[in-house]
Amino acid sequence: MHEQSIGWQLFEGEVPSPSQDTGAARWTEAFAGLLLDSNAQQVFANGRSVRLTLTEFRLLSALLSQRGAVLSRDEAIATVWGDRFRGCRRAVDVYVSRLRAKLRGQVRVETKHGVGYRIRLIPGHAAR
């Protein structure tokens, strides 16, 4: 199977913001048409705002920070919930499922059974 290279960028610039009070993004991470504004905790897919909960945003950020490498459940729990986590480890699966639904057609969140998750380009989807 031929895996497509991953297009990552870290840049400083303005991203369209749906609300005036958040202001422009200062540092944004881009991946396959996704723009992640860490300051305002917003995600844009091909210029459109994607509504994510804070937990979904943190999980997406953790996946993107892996640069295509696998993020284990334990790493996700530590990054997203930290010491506050009191749930079942399968909660990560629920949030991954929600991200998949909200980002369908944009990126693929792959399950690596027994290991964790990673984010990949959808074949034929050009990195921007």
* pLDDT values of the chain reduced to their tens digit, one per residue, 128 residues: 333 333 444 333 444 444 434 445 444 566 777 888 888 888 888 778 899 999 999 999 999 888 789 999 999 999 988 888 887 878 899 999 999 999 988 888 999 999 999 988 776 555 44
* Residue extents of the structural domains in the chain: 8-14+26-121
> How far apart, in whole angstroms, are the C-alpha atoms of residue 97 and residue 102?
9
How is residue 18 annotated by DSSP?
Answer: S
The architecture CATH gives domain 8-14+26-121:
Orthogonal Bundle (1.10)
